[in-house]
Amino acid sequence: MEGLLDFVLRDILTRSGGIDRCVSEFIRVTNTLLPARTFERIVPELHNGGRTFAGVPVRPQLLGSDPACLAENAAVLASLGPFGVDLNFGCPAKVVNRHGGGAALLEDPELLLRIMAAVRRAVPAPMPVSAKMRLGLHDDLRAEECALALEAGGAEELVVHARTKADAYRPPAYWERIADICAVVKIPVIANGEIWNVQDAQRCRELSGCQTLMLGRGMVTDPGLALAIAAGVSPTPLNLPTDAPHLAWHILLPLMADFWHLVRSRLDRKKQAGRLKQWLNFLRHRYPQAHTAYLELRTVNDPLVIDRWMAQQVSLKADLKEAA
């Protein structure tokens, strides 16, 4: 999820619990051999043994369409000691697809096989190589063929986003089509797409046949979702709506303060306010407090003003806790 689930948000979300592994934003590979510092800039967890500070492994993801160039870059990446290498065959962005990358590659299963095989040969045998795909570009008629091609090329694990590029992010996700893919491949398959709450996770598991799930926007919107799914916790028995958050606001607030501290220390000043507002824009779909905060900060671009706002929020939380 380029521009959203970067190393800062990975750090914060993995502190919430329930996450077994992260996949990085894609690292675009064109016709050049990227230096180690490029991989380390996008995946600074490589300086921490390949893990977030909460101890969760991170698998860097490469995006490109040239087998030889991807293989050369995968070899450099592998030398930095990541927890495997992932390949992106699912990005629906027009600029990526226009250059033959991401979901556009699902029109050419033979090229998928060549890419996967080249990367698998370039990466040391003990290091896993995985892939993420959608069901197709315009339709899902070749979904099984693409999955088989990736398996034949040496993929040891496959994440399937249960929509085509044409579907974009519009609901529903066709989880039952993941079951069709599971029926023809022998490697582990992970289900992805439109998982917003525990009920969605349960339904996805039933229809896809996959016990392992990948969370995207649902986790950004509800940072307690992964832990709730792992524990089988649902808000329904408490007569709460299915869109109720699984992490209380008073617990999330210190994580948000940590997030802002990381943003202030690691990102360019011009991008800082926007990064906080971006996350609040997701959170406000679950938290009324986040909606209020988003409205208060929507026109604020000065990080110093947000510094004061954040200090006030943390102080107010401390006062409420003391009063209780």
Asked whether the beta carbons of 121 and 72 are under 8 A apart, the reply is no
Cα 73 to Cα 35, 61, 108, 259, 314: the distances in Å are 9, 11, 22, 31, 44
Contacts of 60 (CB under 8 A, 6+ apart): 23, 24, 27, 39, 42, 43, 46, 77, 82, 85, 86
DSSP, res 107? G
Rounded Cα distance between 91 and 29, Å, is 14
Rounded Cα distance between 153 and 281, Å, is 40
Which residues are the active-site residues?
Answer: 91
For residue 38, which of 5, 91, 76, 72 has the smallest C-alpha distance?
Answer: 76
Handedness of CA 182, 207, 97, 31 (dihedral sign): negative
Q: Is the peptide bond before 288 cis (omega within 30 degrees of 0)?
A: no
DSSP, res 47? G
The partner residues of 161 in beta bridges, in order of sequence, read 134, 192
Rounded Cα distance between 39 and 7, Å, is 12
The structure tokens listed for 193 are 């797409």
Rounded Cα distance between 88 and 103, Å, is 8
CA angle 167, 168, 174 (to 5 degrees): 50
Asked whether the beta carbons of 127 and 99 are under 8 A apart, the reply is no
